[in-house]
A and B are shown apart, each in its own frame.
Chain A
Amino acid sequence: MKYSYFPGCTLKTTGASLDRSARLAALALGFELEEIENWQCCGGVYPLGSDEIATKLSSVRALAEAKAKDQELVTLCSACHHVIKRVNDDMKNVDDIRTRANNYMKLDEAYAGETNVLHFLEVLRDRVGFDNLKAKVTNPLKGRKIGAYYGCLLLRPGKIMAFDDPENPTIIEDFIRAIGATPVVYPYRNECCGGYISLNEKDMAKSMCKRIKDSAEGFGAEMLITACPLCMYNLNKTEGGISVRYFTELLCEALGITEEGKAL
């Protein structure tokens, strides 16, 4: 099974281990991530203004390319997923944006939101299936107590992202169970890490991340997992407390892909 894949800017640089471990895990699970040719940065935050068109075009290009190949489009970075999924919703449901974006793009065939956008976690849940994943785990992470850190972008707005219940998600906890570890549910798992505020106001992000880490640790977590390189950065910049890993790194470890499981 082949999927179109949009890695995004950070997975080529500071978030390279998220990209690498996901590709290796995908092959072990029997699917392939085929990188979109000449993809362009999604822009990091979804442009909320109803008159913003140019800032949405890089997403439309990726979506249209996946459509041309008749593939579903897979993302890993929470920000890329958020932006592309919402632009796709606009192209499907907002006449004005669809018309203006298509007028600009002049594609052979107008794009109207036909591509299905999936986060890698959704591929695991809805295409592979957590039961099948569990069956392929050769090195179950028994006894490990892991907190899922969802953050904002995968979940909200719930109606458009349609990823999971935005207030009480379970997908990452189910993933943690599938790889043989024990999920720890804690109250701050879908609170914001501070996002881009850490460029200019580092203390603000740190105090938010400290609350998240303390909350998880207080409920017994020994480690957090995330899908977002910016959450990862903000949480790591906050000294002390439990460690943070990409969910795909633990997936590799559980699948016995040893060089990826350690010291990435």
Chain B
Amino acid sequence: MSHDKTKKQAELIREISGVNPYKCMKCGKCSASCPSFNEMDIKPHQFVSYVLNDDLEALVNSKSLWKCLSCFACIERCPRDVKPGKLVDAARQLVVRERGGDFLSADEIPEKLDPELPQQLLVSAFRRYRR
């Protein structure tokens, strides 16, 4: 990724998320609260550092984007109002807003369904996994 594009994307993440990552004091409460912590390659508190360092390539390729459950535990418990979950979501938005950025295609869905599966699950997954 070119330097200019990286800078622009880092700005975009701050804009979409509305988060000020400079306020983070690295207490780690977000990562300690995260139910997906073990599944994440970049942990919630590290996400903040990646945004600060403009290391966007790592962020947009991180599998953490698809492991966040939107449970809002990190957002609730952040003592500095940094809201790491919003940064994860903004990075995910950067990916799915680009052509070909969908995490799941419609063709992949039918085999994942079962008769009890609630519509709520499908609409939520669609909103998180694709544009």
* Residue ranges of A at the interface with B (Cβ–Cβ < 8 Å): 8-10, 13-15, 41, 43-51, 55, 77, 79, 152-153, 155-158, 166-167, 191-192, 194-200, 204, 208, 229-230, 232-233, 236-237
Contacts and interface: CB of A to CB of B under 8 A. Distances in A.
Contacts of B125: 44, 196, 199-200
Question: Chain B contact residues: over half helix, strand or loop, or mixed?
Answer: helix
Contacts of A236: 116
Contacts of A199: 104, 109, 112, 117, 121-122, 125
Contacts, number: 123
Interface string B66-98: 110111110110000000011001100100000
5 contacts: A8-B120, A49-B90, A79-B124, A152-B70, A155-B76
Nearest to B87: A48
Given A48-B86, A157-B75, A200 B112 contact: yes
B16 interface: yes
Contact of B121 (A43, A204, A230): A230
Question: Chain A contact residues: over half helix, strand or loop, or mixed?
Answer: loop
B35 interface: yes
Contact of B16 (A45, A49, A79, A192): A49
Contacts of B70: 45-46, 48, 152, 195
Interface of B: 15-18, 35-36, 39, 66-67, 69-73, 75-76, 85-86, 89-90, 93, 104, 109, 112, 116-129
B128 A10 contact: no
B96 to A, nearest CB: 11
Nearest to B16: A49
B16 A198 contact: no
A229 B71 contact: no
A200 B67 contact: no
Nearest to B12: A51
B121 A198 contact: yes
B67 to A, nearest CB: 7
B14 to A, nearest CB: 10
Nearest to B86: A48
Contact of A196 (B17, B18, B86, B128): B128
A79 B125 CA distance: 13
Given A9-B119, A199-B122, A157 B128 contact: no
Nearest to B90: A49
A199 B128 CA distance: 12
6 smallest beta-carbon distances between A and B, as pairs: A44-B124, A192-B71, A156-B72, A196-B124, A44-B123, A9-B119
B39 A14 contact: no
B61 to A, nearest CB: 18
Contacts of A195: 69-71, 121, 124
A43 B15 contact: no
